[in-house]
Structure 1
Amino acid sequence: MPVMPGAEAYHHAGGQIGVLLCHGFTGSPQSLRPWAEYLAAAGMTVALPRLPGHGTTWREMARTGWEDWYAELDKALADLRGSCAEVFVMGLSLGGCMALRLAEVHGDGIKGLVVVNPSIVNDAPLLRLAPLLKFVVASVPGVAGDIKKEGATELGYTRTPVKAAATLLRLWSLTQSELGKITQPVLVFHSPQDHVVKPGSVRILRERLTGGNLNVVELADSYHVATLDNDADRIFAGSLEFITSNASVPLQRD
């Protein structure tokens, strides 16, 4: 299946600090590419995989589910851990949820987390019916492109495959149930004006991560896809500062 131009995976071989970046549901690596390139320029080894079913067609995505997407990230994490001394994981939206899930599973194998508008709860009551709805409706309108910045666009699907969306309920449930396992430092960038993910996800993180390892930064001038929005530079610089503050090995700039 041909990949949409601009939706390709990205990898950069850099120093001993590795960063795994996780894009969101129905999106593509394009939404995180500037962030990835910024971290690569700072000397890090960076992996930004294209999740199965993404960056092609929503019909292909309908043949995949959260286990497929998570497996792709888990493999990329293993590769980074094999070549880097320390690894940080970062993600946008559902990619933020999967970053948190990776931390729950791998514990000390992940040094820290940076998530942007993470999605860890069901914000759409109708989605509870998706396991049944998928048999009568193939797709619903998409959620990509929630950006405030003039002229900025996200490369994502205009339709959301219901069959794939139905699998999210299990991922959210698993992630919520084990948030207490996360002891690494967690930096959350949160847009109050988010038309895709409601404040409930950040509220749950505040309630469950009570060990002093959570820091939430508000993005007043961005919508959901903040990595392509007006506050993108704050995210990039903030994530680099987060890494330098928490890494125990030095950056190696090119």
Structure 2
Amino acid sequence: MPVLPGAEPYRHEGGEVGVLLCHGFTGSPQSMRPWAEYLAERGLSVSVPLLPGHGTRWQDMQLTTWHDWYAEVDRALRELLERCRTVFVFGLSMGGALTLRLAAQHGDAIRGIVLVNPGNKVHGLAAYALPVARHLVPSTKGIASDIAKEGVAEVGYDRVPLHAAHSLRRFFRTVDAQLPQVTQPVVLLHSPQDHVVPPVDSARILSRISSTDVKEVLLEQSYHVATLDHDAERIFDESLAFVERLAPDLVDGKGSRSGG
């Protein structure tokens, strides 16, 4: 299947600081593209992979599980680690959960992580119905484009495939059990008004990780897809300041690659 316009993966060969950006469930790299380009313009190496089953049609997701999604970000991370001296991982929504698992699995190989409205649990009665419902109903209403900003849309599916949602539920449980293994510096930015992931998910993540260098930021003007919303620039600026603080020898004051 052809990839939806705007949903293509993105890569930029920059300096010795690399950033992997992970998009969300039923979303695409489009939700991360402005963030990625902001970092690329400041000299960083950037990778935004397209997760398997995403960016085409929702039926394609029915054939994939969290193992496929995680394998793709793990592959992209290993590529960055081969060509960069210092690597960070940033994630939105389910991409935040992918980021947390990468952090738990790879340890000190990842210098720091940035999470935006990270998911931790499938909530509500629907979660308990998924094991059976997925065999009876192929999909339900989509979750894309939860954005406060007028005229902005997310390139994502208008349906949620239930087989994939069931796998997502299992993945969240797996990641939750691994949260104490996360020790890297963390910036977590979340929206009080989020119609997809409730604030309780961010609170649980912050309570369970073992990181001691942690910053929490509220995104008061945005909904779930905050990377495309009113607070996008704040997310970008906070993440760059985070990188500059943790890799000062590789990034100069403007974010570009330092000499030598």
Q: TM-score, normalised by structure 2?
A: 0.95
Moved over 4 A (4+): none
8 Å Cα contact 2:18/2:44 also seen in 1? yes
SS at match of 1:167: helix
> Which residue pairs with 1:19 in the alignment?
19
239-248 or 65-74, which moves further after superposition? 239-248
Query: Do structure 1's residue 109 and structure 2's residue 109 form an aligned pair?
Result: yes
8 Å Cα contact 2:112/2:186 also seen in 1? yes
Q: Deviations over 1:51-74 (max 9, x none)?
A: 001010000111111110000000
Q: Determine the C-alpha separation between the residues in 1 that align with 2:155 and 2:235.
A: 20
SS at match of 2:87: strand
8 Å Cα contact 1:85/1:249 also seen in 2? no
8 Å Cα contact 1:91/1:99 also seen in 2? yes
SS at match of 1:238: helix
SS at match of 1:194: coil
Query: Do structure 1's residue 169 and structure 2's residue 185 form an aligned pair?
Result: no
Residues 211 and 109 of structure 1: is their aligned pair in 2 closer, same or farther, counting only changes over 3 Å?
closer
> Which residue pairs with 1:84 in the alignment?
84
Q: Offset of 1:210 from its aligned partner?
A: 5.4
8 Å Cα contact 1:137/1:162 also seen in 2? yes
Q: Offset of 1:214 from its aligned partner?
A: 2.0
Q: Offset of 1:200 from its aligned partner?
A: 1.6
Q: Offset of 1:206 from its aligned partner?
A: 2.5
Q: Determine the C-alpha separation between the residues in 2 that align with 1:211 and 1:100.
A: 11
Q: Determine the C-alpha separation between the residues in 2 that align with 1:137 and 1:81.
A: 41
8 Å Cα contact 1:87/1:110 also seen in 2? yes
Q: What is the one-letter code of the residue matched to 1:62? A: Q
> Which residue pairs with 2:203 in the alignment?
203
What 5-or-longer segments of structure 1 have no aligned partner? none
SS at match of 2:151: coil
Q: Offset of 1:195 from its aligned partner?
A: 0.5
User: Map of 1:94-133 to 2, 5 A cutoff?
Assistant: 94-133=94-133
Q: Determine the C-alpha separation between the residues in 2 that align with 1:6 and 1:183.
A: 34
User: Map of 1:15-54 to 2, 5 A cutoff?
Assistant: 15-54=15-54
53-62 or 242-251, which moves further after superposition? 242-251
8 Å Cα contact 2:181/2:209 also seen in 1? no
> Which residue pairs with 1:93 in the alignment?
93
Q: What is the one-letter code of the residue matched to 1:124? A: G
Q: Determine the C-alpha separation between the residues in 2 that align with 1:123 and 1:245.
A: 36
> Which residue pairs with 1:134 in the alignment?
134
Q: What is the one-letter code of the residue matched to 1:135? A: H
8 Å Cα contact 1:95/1:118 also seen in 2? yes
Q: What is the one-letter code of the residue matched to 1:144? A: A
Q: Offset of 1:129 from its aligned partner?
A: 2.0
> Which residue pairs with 1:71 in the alignment?
71
What 5-or-longer segments of structure 2 have no aligned partner? none
Q: Determine the C-alpha separation between the residues in 1 that align with 2:85 and 2:62.
A: 37
Q: Determine the C-alpha separation between the residues in 1 that align with 2:209 and 2:61.
A: 32
Q: Offset of 1:124 from its aligned partner?
A: 3.0
Q: Determine the C-alpha separation between the residues in 2 that align with 1:5 and 1:122.
A: 29
Q: Determine the C-alpha separation between the residues in 1 that align with 2:249 and 2:88.
A: 12
Q: Deviations over 1:136-163 (max 9, x none)?
A: 0000000000000011110110000000
Count of residues in correspondence between the two structures: 254
Q: What is the one-letter code of the residue matched to 1:84? A: C
Q: Deviations over 1:170-213 (max 9, x none)?
A: 21111111111111101001100000001121111232135422
Q: Determine the C-alpha separation between the residues in 2 that align with 1:124 and 1:208.
A: 22
SS at match of 2:69: helix
Q: What is the one-letter code of the residue matched to 2:217? A: V
8 Å Cα contact 2:182/2:210 also seen in 1? no
